[in-house]
A = this chain, B = another copy of it.
Amino acid sequence: MYKRALSKGIFALSFPLAAMMGTAHAAAPEMSAEELERAGQIYFSRCAGCHGTLRKGATGPDLLPETTQELGQRRLESIITLGTEGGMNNFDGILDPDEIELISKYIQQTPEEPPEMSLSDIRDTWKILVPQEEWPTEPQHDRNWENFMVTILRDRGAMGIIDGDTKELVTEAETGYAVHVAKESSDGRFWYVQGRDGRLSKIDLWMDPPQVTAEVFIGIDARDVAVSHYGEWKDKYVIGGAYWPPHFVIADAETMEPLKVVSTRGYDTEGNYVHEARVAALYNTPNAPSWLVNVKETGQIWQVDYSDLENLRIDHIESAEFLHDGFFDPTGRYFQIAANFSNLMVFVDTETRKRVGMLNTGQIPHPGPGANWIDSECGPVAGTTHLGEGRMTFWGNDPEGHPDQAWEICGSVETDGPGLFVRSHPDSGNVWIDQAMHPESDVNQWVMVMDKETRELTPIHVADRPIEHDAVAVHMEYDQTGTEVWVSIWARGRGHQDDGAIVVYDDKTLEVKAVIENLNTPTGKFNVYNRKKHIG
Protein backbone atom coordinates (compact mmCIF):
# COMPACT_ATOMS: atom_id res chain seq x y z
CA MET A 1 0.00 0.00 0.00
CA TYR A 2 2.69 2.46 0.96
CA LYS A 3 4.32 1.87 -2.42
CA ARG A 4 1.43 3.55 -4.11
CA ALA A 5 1.77 6.38 -1.60
CA LEU A 6 5.48 6.64 -2.30
CA SER A 7 5.01 6.73 -6.03
CA LYS A 8 2.67 9.67 -5.57
CA GLY A 9 5.23 11.41 -3.44
CA ILE A 10 2.86 11.73 -0.52
CA PHE A 11 1.10 9.43 1.82
CA ALA A 12 -2.51 8.58 0.97
CA LEU A 13 -4.63 7.82 4.00
CA SER A 14 -7.68 6.51 2.23
CA PHE A 15 -7.25 2.75 2.39
CA PRO A 16 -9.52 0.94 4.80
CA LEU A 17 -8.35 -0.16 8.22
CA ALA A 18 -9.86 -3.58 7.56
CA ALA A 19 -7.24 -4.28 4.91
CA MET A 20 -4.50 -3.82 7.49
CA MET A 21 -6.09 -5.61 10.42
CA GLY A 22 -7.14 -8.64 8.39
CA THR A 23 -10.73 -9.15 7.40
CA ALA A 24 -13.05 -10.24 10.17
CA HIS A 25 -13.80 -13.88 9.43
CA ALA A 26 -17.49 -14.56 9.50
CA ALA A 27 -16.66 -18.25 9.73
CA ALA A 28 -15.26 -18.13 13.30
CA PRO A 29 -17.28 -20.34 15.66
CA GLU A 30 -19.46 -18.45 18.12
CA MET A 31 -18.19 -18.20 21.67
CA SER A 32 -19.69 -16.65 24.77
CA ALA A 33 -17.80 -14.04 26.78
CA GLU A 34 -17.13 -16.66 29.48
CA GLU A 35 -15.80 -19.14 26.94
CA LEU A 36 -13.57 -16.48 25.40
CA GLU A 37 -12.13 -15.59 28.77
CA ARG A 38 -11.51 -19.22 29.75
CA ALA A 39 -9.96 -19.99 26.37
CA GLY A 40 -7.84 -16.84 26.58
CA GLN A 41 -6.41 -18.07 29.88
CA ILE A 42 -5.58 -21.48 28.40
CA TYR A 43 -4.05 -19.83 25.34
CA PHE A 44 -1.90 -17.60 27.51
CA SER A 45 -0.60 -20.39 29.74
CA ARG A 46 -0.16 -23.14 27.13
CA CYS A 47 0.09 -21.67 23.63
CA ALA A 48 1.36 -18.06 23.68
CA GLY A 49 4.95 -19.06 24.47
CA CYS A 50 5.42 -20.56 21.00
CA HIS A 51 2.65 -18.95 18.93
CA GLY A 52 2.86 -15.41 20.35
CA THR A 53 0.47 -13.20 22.27
CA LEU A 54 -0.79 -11.73 18.98
CA ARG A 55 -0.90 -15.26 17.45
CA LYS A 56 1.41 -14.11 14.65
CA GLY A 57 3.73 -17.06 15.28
CA ALA A 58 7.22 -17.26 16.74
CA THR A 59 8.89 -20.61 17.34
CA GLY A 60 5.50 -22.10 16.39
CA PRO A 61 3.49 -21.17 13.27
CA ASP A 62 0.95 -18.33 13.22
CA LEU A 63 -2.57 -19.04 14.46
CA LEU A 64 -4.36 -16.29 12.57
CA PRO A 65 -7.95 -16.84 11.38
CA GLU A 66 -6.83 -17.24 7.75
CA THR A 67 -4.74 -20.24 8.80
CA THR A 68 -6.91 -21.78 11.49
CA GLN A 69 -10.26 -21.47 9.71
CA GLU A 70 -8.72 -23.17 6.69
CA LEU A 71 -7.80 -26.12 8.93
CA GLY A 72 -11.17 -26.15 10.63
CA GLN A 73 -12.40 -27.23 14.06
CA ARG A 74 -11.88 -31.00 13.71
CA ARG A 75 -8.36 -30.79 12.34
CA LEU A 76 -7.36 -28.24 14.99
CA GLU A 77 -8.64 -30.48 17.78
CA SER A 78 -6.72 -33.38 16.31
CA ILE A 79 -3.45 -31.41 16.06
CA ILE A 80 -3.75 -30.17 19.63
CA THR A 81 -4.63 -33.64 20.94
CA LEU A 82 -1.95 -35.57 19.10
CA GLY A 83 0.76 -33.01 18.36
CA THR A 84 2.70 -32.83 15.08
CA GLU A 85 6.00 -34.05 13.73
CA GLY A 86 6.97 -30.41 13.31
CA GLY A 87 7.50 -30.13 17.05
CA MET A 88 4.02 -29.35 18.44
CA ASN A 89 3.50 -31.11 21.78
CA ASN A 90 0.50 -33.41 22.22
CA PHE A 91 -1.91 -32.00 24.79
CA ASP A 92 -3.86 -35.22 25.33
CA GLY A 93 -3.59 -35.78 29.06
CA ILE A 94 -2.66 -32.16 29.71
CA LEU A 95 -5.89 -30.51 28.55
CA ASP A 96 -9.41 -31.97 28.86
CA PRO A 97 -11.23 -32.75 25.60
CA ASP A 98 -13.61 -29.84 26.26
CA GLU A 99 -10.61 -27.53 26.77
CA ILE A 100 -9.19 -28.70 23.45
CA GLU A 101 -12.53 -28.00 21.78
CA LEU A 102 -12.61 -24.56 23.38
CA ILE A 103 -9.09 -23.56 22.41
CA SER A 104 -9.66 -24.80 18.85
CA LYS A 105 -12.62 -22.43 18.59
CA TYR A 106 -10.70 -19.64 20.21
CA ILE A 107 -7.81 -19.63 17.75
CA GLN A 108 -10.25 -19.14 14.88
CA GLN A 109 -11.29 -15.75 16.28
CA THR A 110 -9.62 -12.50 15.25
CA PRO A 111 -6.74 -11.91 17.71
CA GLU A 112 -6.94 -8.97 20.05
CA GLU A 113 -3.97 -6.92 21.11
CA PRO A 114 -3.51 -6.52 24.85
CA PRO A 115 -2.82 -3.02 26.19
CA GLU A 116 0.55 -1.41 26.80
CA MET A 117 1.80 -0.75 30.36
CA SER A 118 3.32 2.53 31.46
CA LEU A 119 5.90 2.92 34.22
CA SER A 120 3.18 4.31 36.45
CA ASP A 121 0.95 1.30 35.68
CA ILE A 122 3.86 -0.92 36.69
CA ARG A 123 4.46 1.15 39.80
CA ASP A 124 0.81 0.64 40.79
CA THR A 125 1.47 -3.12 41.05
CA TRP A 126 4.50 -2.71 43.32
CA LYS A 127 4.04 -4.19 46.81
CA ILE A 128 6.40 -4.32 49.77
CA LEU A 129 5.41 -7.36 51.83
CA VAL A 130 8.19 -7.14 54.41
CA PRO A 131 9.60 -3.64 54.89
CA GLN A 132 13.35 -3.31 54.87
CA GLU A 133 13.54 -2.38 58.56
CA GLU A 134 12.09 -5.79 59.40
CA TRP A 135 14.69 -7.73 57.43
CA PRO A 136 16.89 -9.94 59.63
CA THR A 137 20.55 -9.02 59.99
CA GLU A 138 21.55 -12.68 60.18
CA PRO A 139 19.95 -15.99 59.19
CA GLN A 140 16.92 -16.75 61.40
CA HIS A 141 17.41 -20.52 61.10
CA ASP A 142 20.33 -22.91 61.56
CA ARG A 143 20.06 -24.53 58.14
CA ASN A 144 22.96 -24.45 55.69
CA TRP A 145 21.19 -21.96 53.40
CA GLU A 146 24.12 -21.88 50.96
CA ASN A 147 23.15 -25.44 50.01
CA PHE A 148 19.47 -24.59 49.52
CA MET A 149 18.02 -25.70 46.21
CA VAL A 150 15.70 -22.94 45.03
CA THR A 151 13.28 -25.04 42.97
CA ILE A 152 10.63 -24.05 40.46
CA LEU A 153 7.31 -25.75 41.26
CA ARG A 154 6.00 -24.88 37.84
CA ASP A 155 2.24 -25.31 38.07
CA ARG A 156 2.05 -24.38 41.76
CA GLY A 157 3.00 -20.72 41.23
CA ALA A 158 5.60 -21.11 43.96
CA MET A 159 9.30 -21.68 44.55
CA GLY A 160 10.15 -24.70 46.66
CA ILE A 161 13.05 -24.00 49.00
CA ILE A 162 14.68 -27.38 49.57
CA ASP A 163 17.44 -27.97 52.14
CA GLY A 164 20.29 -29.59 50.22
CA ASP A 165 21.77 -31.12 53.37
CA THR A 166 18.59 -32.66 54.82
CA LYS A 167 16.61 -32.98 51.56
CA GLU A 168 13.59 -31.38 53.28
CA LEU A 169 11.18 -29.03 51.56
CA VAL A 170 11.62 -26.04 53.89
CA THR A 171 8.83 -23.95 52.42
CA GLU A 172 6.92 -23.01 49.32
CA ALA A 173 7.21 -19.27 48.66
CA GLU A 174 4.26 -17.98 46.64
CA THR A 175 5.41 -16.33 43.43
CA GLY A 176 4.09 -15.87 39.90
CA TYR A 177 2.69 -18.63 37.73
CA ALA A 178 5.09 -20.99 35.88
CA VAL A 179 8.31 -19.31 36.94
CA HIS A 180 10.91 -19.72 34.22
CA VAL A 181 14.07 -18.94 36.13
CA ALA A 182 15.48 -17.52 39.37
CA LYS A 183 18.53 -15.28 39.84
CA GLU A 184 20.47 -14.56 42.99
CA SER A 185 21.85 -11.53 44.80
CA SER A 186 25.64 -11.58 44.82
CA ASP A 187 25.78 -13.12 48.34
CA GLY A 188 23.07 -15.65 47.45
CA ARG A 189 20.74 -14.48 50.22
CA PHE A 190 18.03 -12.95 48.03
CA TRP A 191 16.43 -14.68 45.07
CA TYR A 192 14.54 -12.90 42.33
CA VAL A 193 12.01 -14.96 40.39
CA GLN A 194 10.04 -13.98 37.31
CA GLY A 195 6.60 -15.51 36.88
CA ARG A 196 5.15 -16.07 33.45
CA ASP A 197 2.27 -13.81 34.55
CA GLY A 198 4.69 -10.89 34.91
CA ARG A 199 5.07 -11.10 38.67
CA LEU A 200 8.65 -10.44 39.74
CA SER A 201 9.21 -11.56 43.36
CA LYS A 202 12.11 -11.18 45.78
CA ILE A 203 12.67 -13.98 48.29
CA ASP A 204 14.81 -13.68 51.44
CA LEU A 205 16.44 -17.03 52.35
CA TRP A 206 17.50 -15.74 55.79
CA MET A 207 13.93 -15.52 57.02
CA ASP A 208 12.37 -18.47 58.80
CA PRO A 209 10.81 -19.72 56.70
CA PRO A 210 12.20 -17.94 53.62
CA GLN A 211 9.60 -15.59 52.18
CA VAL A 212 8.77 -13.01 49.55
CA THR A 213 9.66 -9.49 50.71
CA ALA A 214 8.42 -7.50 47.70
CA GLU A 215 6.94 -7.93 44.24
CA VAL A 216 6.02 -5.98 41.13
CA PHE A 217 4.36 -6.95 37.84
CA ILE A 218 6.70 -5.89 35.05
CA GLY A 219 4.30 -7.00 32.29
CA ILE A 220 1.43 -9.40 31.74
CA ASP A 221 3.62 -12.14 30.24
CA ALA A 222 7.29 -12.48 31.18
CA ARG A 223 10.19 -14.90 31.40
CA ASP A 224 13.43 -13.76 32.94
CA VAL A 225 15.19 -11.60 35.50
CA ALA A 226 18.78 -10.59 36.33
CA VAL A 227 20.56 -8.63 39.05
CA SER A 228 23.37 -6.09 38.70
CA HIS A 229 26.49 -7.71 40.15
CA TYR A 230 29.34 -5.56 38.87
CA GLY A 231 31.45 -3.13 40.89
CA GLU A 232 29.70 -0.33 42.71
CA TRP A 233 26.34 -1.39 41.23
CA LYS A 234 26.46 -4.76 43.00
CA ASP A 235 22.90 -5.71 44.02
CA LYS A 236 21.67 -2.20 43.21
CA TYR A 237 19.29 -2.98 40.33
CA VAL A 238 17.16 -5.86 39.13
CA ILE A 239 15.87 -6.17 35.58
CA GLY A 240 12.77 -8.06 34.46
CA GLY A 241 12.01 -8.85 30.82
CA ALA A 242 8.53 -9.18 29.38
CA TYR A 243 6.96 -10.96 26.45
CA TRP A 244 4.08 -8.48 26.60
CA PRO A 245 4.42 -5.59 26.50
CA PRO A 246 7.72 -6.24 24.72
CA HIS A 247 9.99 -4.35 27.09
CA PHE A 248 12.25 -4.61 30.08
CA VAL A 249 11.90 -2.93 33.44
CA ILE A 250 14.73 -1.87 35.74
CA ALA A 251 13.82 -1.80 39.43
CA ASP A 252 15.58 -1.04 42.69
CA ALA A 253 16.94 -4.42 43.79
CA GLU A 254 16.40 -3.61 47.46
CA THR A 255 12.83 -2.38 47.42
CA MET A 256 11.71 -3.62 43.97
CA GLU A 257 10.50 -0.12 43.11
CA PRO A 258 10.33 0.12 39.31
CA LEU A 259 12.61 2.87 37.98
CA LYS A 260 12.73 2.65 34.21
CA VAL A 261 11.06 0.86 31.30
CA VAL A 262 12.63 0.35 27.86
CA SER A 263 10.88 -0.99 24.76
CA THR A 264 12.47 -3.86 22.82
CA ARG A 265 10.39 -3.40 19.66
CA GLY A 266 12.48 -3.15 16.54
CA TYR A 267 13.60 -4.79 13.33
CA ASP A 268 14.73 -8.38 12.91
CA THR A 269 17.94 -9.40 11.13
CA GLU A 270 16.18 -9.23 7.76
CA GLY A 271 14.91 -5.72 8.46
CA ASN A 272 11.25 -6.55 9.15
CA TYR A 273 9.54 -4.61 11.91
CA VAL A 274 8.58 -6.80 14.89
CA HIS A 275 5.72 -5.50 17.02
CA GLU A 276 5.99 -8.44 19.43
CA ALA A 277 9.76 -8.46 20.08
CA ARG A 278 9.89 -10.48 23.25
CA VAL A 279 12.58 -10.53 25.91
CA ALA A 280 13.71 -14.15 26.02
CA ALA A 281 16.43 -14.16 28.64
CA LEU A 282 18.48 -11.84 30.84
CA TYR A 283 21.98 -12.17 32.29
CA ASN A 284 24.36 -10.09 34.32
CA THR A 285 27.77 -9.82 32.65
CA PRO A 286 30.44 -10.65 35.28
CA ASN A 287 33.13 -8.49 33.63
CA ALA A 288 31.17 -5.32 32.80
CA PRO A 289 28.45 -3.20 34.44
CA SER A 290 25.74 -4.50 32.16
CA TRP A 291 23.05 -7.02 31.46
CA LEU A 292 22.41 -8.97 28.30
CA VAL A 293 18.83 -8.60 27.11
CA ASN A 294 18.11 -11.18 24.45
CA VAL A 295 15.27 -10.19 22.17
CA LYS A 296 13.82 -13.40 20.76
CA GLU A 297 12.19 -12.32 17.50
CA THR A 298 14.73 -9.69 16.41
CA GLY A 299 17.82 -11.82 17.01
CA GLN A 300 19.38 -8.85 18.82
CA ILE A 301 21.44 -9.23 21.97
CA TRP A 302 21.28 -5.92 23.79
CA GLN A 303 24.12 -5.27 26.21
CA VAL A 304 22.43 -2.78 28.55
CA ASP A 305 24.85 -0.77 30.67
CA TYR A 306 23.46 -0.08 34.14
CA SER A 307 26.16 2.34 35.25
CA ASP A 308 24.01 5.36 34.26
CA LEU A 309 20.27 4.84 33.86
CA GLU A 310 19.66 8.41 32.67
CA ASN A 311 22.13 8.06 29.82
CA LEU A 312 21.46 4.41 29.13
CA ARG A 313 24.05 2.83 26.87
CA ILE A 314 22.84 -0.17 24.89
CA ASP A 315 24.99 -2.07 22.42
CA HIS A 316 22.70 -3.79 19.92
CA ILE A 317 24.57 -6.95 18.96
CA GLU A 318 23.05 -8.57 15.86
CA SER A 319 22.87 -12.34 15.67
CA ALA A 320 20.03 -14.60 14.49
CA GLU A 321 16.46 -15.59 15.33
CA PHE A 322 15.11 -16.78 17.74
CA LEU A 323 17.25 -16.03 20.75
CA HIS A 324 16.47 -18.28 23.68
CA ASP A 325 18.84 -19.08 26.55
CA GLY A 326 22.55 -18.90 27.20
CA PHE A 327 25.41 -19.08 29.67
CA PHE A 328 28.89 -17.72 30.24
CA ASP A 329 32.30 -19.33 29.78
CA PRO A 330 34.25 -19.86 33.05
CA THR A 331 36.05 -16.51 32.72
CA GLY A 332 32.75 -14.64 32.59
CA ARG A 333 33.89 -12.76 29.53
CA TYR A 334 32.20 -14.71 26.74
CA PHE A 335 28.48 -15.29 26.50
CA GLN A 336 27.13 -18.32 24.63
CA ILE A 337 23.47 -18.25 23.59
CA ALA A 338 21.16 -20.31 21.40
CA ALA A 339 19.54 -18.70 18.36
CA ASN A 340 17.44 -21.80 18.33
CA PHE A 341 15.50 -21.78 15.05
CA SER A 342 18.64 -20.78 13.16
CA ASN A 343 20.36 -23.86 14.68
CA LEU A 344 23.10 -21.56 15.90
CA MET A 345 24.99 -20.89 19.06
CA VAL A 346 26.04 -17.22 19.15
CA PHE A 347 29.13 -15.99 21.00
CA VAL A 348 29.54 -12.49 22.43
CA ASP A 349 32.60 -10.84 23.92
CA THR A 350 31.05 -8.82 26.74
CA GLU A 351 34.20 -6.74 27.20
CA THR A 352 34.29 -5.40 23.62
CA ARG A 353 30.46 -5.71 23.49
CA LYS A 354 30.63 -7.36 20.08
CA ARG A 355 29.69 -10.66 18.50
CA VAL A 356 32.72 -12.92 18.01
CA GLY A 357 31.19 -16.02 16.42
CA MET A 358 28.18 -18.07 15.35
CA LEU A 359 28.19 -21.86 15.10
CA ASN A 360 25.71 -24.41 13.74
CA THR A 361 25.57 -27.07 16.48
CA GLY A 362 22.49 -29.06 15.44
CA GLN A 363 18.70 -28.88 15.33
CA ILE A 364 17.39 -26.19 17.70
CA PRO A 365 20.06 -25.82 20.37
CA HIS A 366 18.82 -25.32 23.97
CA PRO A 367 21.57 -25.25 26.62
CA GLY A 368 19.55 -24.19 29.66
CA PRO A 369 22.18 -23.39 32.31
CA GLY A 370 24.80 -24.96 30.00
CA ALA A 371 27.99 -26.76 30.92
CA ASN A 372 31.69 -25.83 30.67
CA TRP A 373 34.49 -28.36 31.08
CA ILE A 374 37.99 -29.23 29.92
CA ASP A 375 38.22 -31.55 26.94
CA SER A 376 41.45 -33.52 26.54
CA GLU A 377 41.69 -32.62 22.84
CA CYS A 378 40.29 -29.10 22.63
CA GLY A 379 40.95 -27.63 26.05
CA PRO A 380 38.12 -25.53 27.55
CA VAL A 381 34.79 -26.36 25.91
CA ALA A 382 31.07 -25.77 26.47
CA GLY A 383 28.09 -27.81 25.35
CA THR A 384 24.42 -27.65 24.50
CA THR A 385 21.51 -30.05 24.17
CA HIS A 386 19.03 -29.68 21.28
CA LEU A 387 15.25 -29.56 21.08
CA GLY A 388 15.28 -30.96 17.57
CA GLU A 389 17.56 -33.98 17.89
CA GLY A 390 19.20 -36.26 20.43
CA ARG A 391 22.58 -34.62 20.37
CA MET A 392 24.86 -32.78 22.76
CA THR A 393 27.41 -30.71 20.86
CA PHE A 394 30.43 -28.98 22.41
CA TRP A 395 32.80 -26.31 21.12
CA GLY A 396 36.03 -24.63 22.14
CA ASN A 397 35.54 -21.46 24.18
CA ASP A 398 39.05 -20.31 25.05
CA PRO A 399 40.09 -17.87 22.30
CA GLU A 400 43.20 -16.80 24.25
CA GLY A 401 44.62 -20.25 25.08
CA HIS A 402 43.16 -22.27 22.19
CA PRO A 403 42.44 -19.83 19.36
CA ASP A 404 42.10 -22.56 16.71
CA GLN A 405 39.35 -24.34 18.62
CA ALA A 406 37.51 -21.20 19.70
CA TRP A 407 33.87 -21.10 18.57
CA GLU A 408 34.41 -24.23 16.45
CA ILE A 409 32.88 -27.65 17.07
CA CYS A 410 35.09 -29.92 19.18
CA GLY A 411 32.74 -32.90 19.15
CA SER A 412 29.24 -34.16 19.77
CA VAL A 413 27.55 -37.18 21.27
CA GLU A 414 24.26 -38.74 20.21
CA THR A 415 21.67 -39.38 22.88
CA ASP A 416 18.37 -41.22 22.57
CA GLY A 417 16.25 -38.12 22.26
CA PRO A 418 16.08 -34.33 22.16
CA GLY A 419 16.65 -32.62 25.47
CA LEU A 420 16.40 -29.35 27.36
CA PHE A 421 19.35 -29.23 29.71
CA VAL A 422 23.03 -30.04 30.12
CA ARG A 423 25.01 -29.57 33.34
CA SER A 424 28.44 -30.26 34.82
CA HIS A 425 30.77 -29.24 37.67
CA PRO A 426 34.50 -28.47 37.58
CA ASP A 427 35.24 -31.17 40.21
CA SER A 428 33.22 -33.81 38.36
CA GLY A 429 34.25 -36.15 35.55
CA ASN A 430 30.68 -36.13 34.16
CA VAL A 431 28.39 -34.10 31.96
CA TRP A 432 24.69 -34.78 32.53
CA ILE A 433 22.26 -34.53 29.60
CA ASP A 434 18.48 -34.86 29.71
CA GLN A 435 16.17 -36.18 26.99
CA ALA A 436 13.03 -34.48 28.19
CA MET A 437 11.73 -33.53 24.73
CA HIS A 438 11.38 -37.10 23.47
CA PRO A 439 7.70 -38.11 23.28
CA GLU A 440 8.19 -41.63 24.73
CA SER A 441 8.54 -42.29 28.45
CA ASP A 442 11.16 -44.99 27.91
CA VAL A 443 13.43 -42.23 26.66
CA ASN A 444 12.28 -39.05 28.39
CA GLN A 445 12.40 -40.62 31.87
CA TRP A 446 16.09 -41.40 31.30
CA VAL A 447 19.10 -39.09 31.30
CA MET A 448 22.58 -39.62 29.88
CA VAL A 449 25.85 -39.15 31.75
CA MET A 450 28.88 -38.45 29.59
CA ASP A 451 32.39 -39.21 30.81
CA LYS A 452 34.44 -36.08 30.10
CA GLU A 453 37.56 -38.15 29.37
CA THR A 454 36.17 -40.93 27.17
CA ARG A 455 33.04 -39.13 25.89
CA GLU A 456 31.15 -42.36 26.62
CA LEU A 457 27.50 -42.20 27.65
CA THR A 458 25.86 -44.05 30.53
CA PRO A 459 22.03 -44.09 30.47
CA ILE A 460 20.25 -43.65 33.79
CA HIS A 461 16.61 -44.50 34.46
CA VAL A 462 15.68 -41.61 36.72
CA ALA A 463 12.19 -42.88 37.43
CA ASP A 464 13.24 -45.68 39.75
CA ARG A 465 9.70 -47.01 39.82
CA PRO A 466 7.20 -47.09 36.91
CA ILE A 467 5.44 -43.75 36.43
CA GLU A 468 2.39 -44.44 34.34
CA HIS A 469 1.15 -40.92 33.87
CA ASP A 470 2.94 -38.22 31.88
CA ALA A 471 6.23 -37.45 33.62
CA VAL A 472 9.72 -36.66 32.34
CA ALA A 473 13.20 -36.48 33.85
CA VAL A 474 14.39 -32.94 33.42
CA HIS A 475 17.05 -30.47 34.61
CA MET A 476 20.14 -31.42 36.56
CA GLU A 477 21.82 -29.38 39.30
CA TYR A 478 24.88 -30.13 41.47
CA ASP A 479 24.75 -29.58 45.19
CA GLN A 480 27.17 -27.30 47.06
CA THR A 481 29.82 -30.01 47.46
CA GLY A 482 29.78 -30.93 43.79
CA THR A 483 29.24 -34.61 44.65
CA GLU A 484 25.47 -34.90 44.19
CA VAL A 485 23.35 -34.39 41.10
CA TRP A 486 19.68 -33.54 41.52
CA VAL A 487 17.31 -34.52 38.70
CA SER A 488 13.63 -33.51 38.54
CA ILE A 489 10.78 -35.86 37.76
CA TRP A 490 8.31 -33.42 36.29
CA ALA A 491 4.90 -35.05 36.60
CA ARG A 492 2.71 -32.99 34.35
CA GLY A 493 -0.26 -35.30 33.73
CA ARG A 494 -3.64 -33.95 34.79
CA GLY A 495 -4.41 -34.88 38.40
CA HIS A 496 -0.85 -36.07 39.00
CA GLN A 497 0.95 -32.77 39.37
CA ASP A 498 1.73 -33.47 43.02
CA ASP A 499 3.45 -36.74 42.17
CA GLY A 500 6.65 -34.99 41.07
CA ALA A 501 9.96 -35.79 42.70
CA ILE A 502 13.65 -34.97 42.73
CA VAL A 503 16.05 -37.88 42.53
CA VAL A 504 19.47 -37.24 44.06
CA TYR A 505 22.42 -39.14 42.57
CA ASP A 506 25.94 -39.71 43.75
CA ASP A 507 27.90 -38.18 40.86
CA LYS A 508 30.74 -40.77 41.18
CA THR A 509 28.81 -44.02 41.65
CA LEU A 510 25.68 -42.90 39.76
CA GLU A 511 23.69 -44.51 42.59
CA VAL A 512 20.51 -42.96 43.97
CA LYS A 513 21.20 -41.26 47.33
CA ALA A 514 17.74 -39.89 48.01
CA VAL A 515 14.33 -39.25 46.52
CA ILE A 516 12.39 -36.16 47.51
CA GLU A 517 8.75 -36.96 46.80
CA ASN A 518 5.38 -35.25 46.53
CA LEU A 519 6.65 -32.12 44.83
CA ASN A 520 4.30 -30.21 42.53
CA THR A 521 5.75 -30.12 38.98
CA PRO A 522 9.41 -29.49 39.95
CA THR A 523 11.56 -28.29 37.03
CA GLY A 524 14.54 -25.91 37.31
CA LYS A 525 16.68 -25.99 40.47
CA PHE A 526 19.22 -23.42 41.56
CA ASN A 527 21.85 -24.29 44.14
CA VAL A 528 22.64 -21.12 46.11
CA TYR A 529 26.38 -21.71 46.40
CA ASN A 530 27.00 -22.88 42.83
CA ARG A 531 24.96 -20.08 41.32
CA LYS A 532 26.49 -17.27 43.35
CA LYS A 533 29.98 -18.62 42.61
CA HIS A 534 29.14 -19.21 38.92
CA ILE A 535 30.15 -22.86 39.19
CA GLY A 536 29.04 -25.11 36.35
Q: Please give the residue numbers on chain A whose beta carbons come within 8 Å of chain B beta carbons, in ascending order.
A: 1-3, 5-6, 9-17, 20, 33, 36-37, 39-41, 43-45, 53, 110, 112-122, 124-125, 157, 176-177, 197-199, 217, 220-221, 244-245, 247, 260-263, 265-267, 270-273, 308, 310-318, 353-355
**Chain B neighbourhood of A121, CB < 8 A:** 2-3
A157 and B8 alpha carbons, distance in the complex (Å): 13
Contact A11 B263 (CB under 8 A): no
A308 and B354 alpha carbons, distance in the complex (Å): 9
Contact A112 B13 (CB under 8 A): yes
Contact A11 B244 (CB under 8 A): yes
Assembly of this chain: how many copies?
2
**Chain B neighbourhood of A39, CB < 8 A:** 13
A275 and B245 alpha carbons, distance in the complex (Å): 12
**Chain B neighbourhood of A199, CB < 8 A:** 9
**Chain B neighbourhood of A266, CB < 8 A:** 262-263, 265
Which residue on B lies nearest to A311, using beta carbons?
B354
Contact B2 A117 (CB under 8 A): yes
A272 and B245 alpha carbons, distance in the complex (Å): 12
A316 and B250 alpha carbons, distance in the complex (Å): 15
A318 and B310 alpha carbons, distance in the complex (Å): 6
Contact B245 A273 (CB under 8 A): yes
Contact B265 A261 (CB under 8 A): no
A355 and B262 alpha carbons, distance in the complex (Å): 18
A201 to chain B, nearest CB (A): 12
Can you list 8 A-B contacts with CB-CB less than 8 angstroms, sorted by A residue number? A6-B125, A13-B112, A15-B112, A118-B270, A118-B271, A247-B273, A310-B317, A312-B316
Give the residue among A45, A117, A120 with the most B Cβ atoms within 10 A: A117
Q: Is the interface of A mostly helix, strand, loop or mixed?
A: mixed
**Chain B neighbourhood of A116, CB < 8 A:** 273
Contact A110 B313 (CB under 8 A): no
Q: A20-B115, A311-B318, A318-B310 are in contact. Are A220 and B13 (CB under 8 A)?
A: no
A434 and B313 alpha carbons, distance in the complex (Å): 38
Contact A3 B312 (CB under 8 A): no
Picked from B14, B217, B260, the residue with its CB within 8 Å of the CB of A40 is B14
Extra A-B contacts (12), CB below 8 Å, given A9-B199, A119-B271, A261-B271: A6-B198, A6-B220, A11-B40, A11-B244, A13-B43, A20-B113, A119-B270, A122-B271, A311-B353, A312-B316, A312-B318, A313-B313
Contact B313 A353 (CB under 8 A): yes
**Chain B neighbourhood of A124, CB < 8 A:** 3
Contact B13 A114 (CB under 8 A): yes
Contact B315 A197 (CB under 8 A): no
Contact A9 B176 (CB under 8 A): yes
A117 and B272 alpha carbons, distance in the complex (Å): 8
Give the residue among A2, A15, A20, A265 with the most B Cβ atoms within 10 A: A2
A198 and B7 alpha carbons, distance in the complex (Å): 11
Which residue on B lies nearest to A353, using beta carbons?
B311
Which residue on B lies nearest to A260, using beta carbons?
B271
Q: A110-B17, A273-B118 are in contact. Are A311 and B10 (CB under 8 A)?
A: no
Contact A316 B314 (CB under 8 A): yes
A308 to chain B, nearest CB (A): 7
A112 to chain B, nearest CB (A): 5
A2 to chain B, nearest CB (A): 5
Contact A14 B1 (CB under 8 A): no
A39 and B312 alpha carbons, distance in the complex (Å): 41
Q: A11-B197, A11-B220 are in contact. Are A2 and B114 (CB under 8 A)?
A: yes
Which residue on B lies nearest to A245, using beta carbons?
B273
Contact A315 B313 (CB under 8 A): yes
Give the residue among A157, A260, A263, A266 with the most B Cβ atoms within 10 A: A263
**Chain B neighbourhood of A316, CB < 8 A:** 262, 311-314
Contact A120 B270 (CB under 8 A): yes
**Chain B neighbourhood of A117, CB < 8 A:** 2, 273
A279 to chain B, nearest CB (A): 14
A75 to chain B, nearest CB (A): 23
A144 to chain B, nearest CB (A): 33
A273 and B245 alpha carbons, distance in the complex (Å): 10
**Chain B neighbourhood of A115, CB < 8 A:** 1-2, 20
**Chain B neighbourhood of A312, CB < 8 A:** 315-316, 318
**Chain B neighbourhood of A41, CB < 8 A:** 10-13
Contact A177 B9 (CB under 8 A): yes
Contact B37 A6 (CB under 8 A): no
Which residue on B lies nearest to A35, using beta carbons?
B14
**Chain B neighbourhood of A36, CB < 8 A:** 13-14
**Chain B neighbourhood of A118, CB < 8 A:** 267, 270-273
A132 to chain B, nearest CB (A): 24
Contact A37 B9 (CB under 8 A): no
A42 to chain B, nearest CB (A): 10
Contact B221 A11 (CB under 8 A): yes
A184 to chain B, nearest CB (A): 24
Contact A265 B267 (CB under 8 A): no
A304 to chain B, nearest CB (A): 10
**Chain B neighbourhood of A53, CB < 8 A:** 11
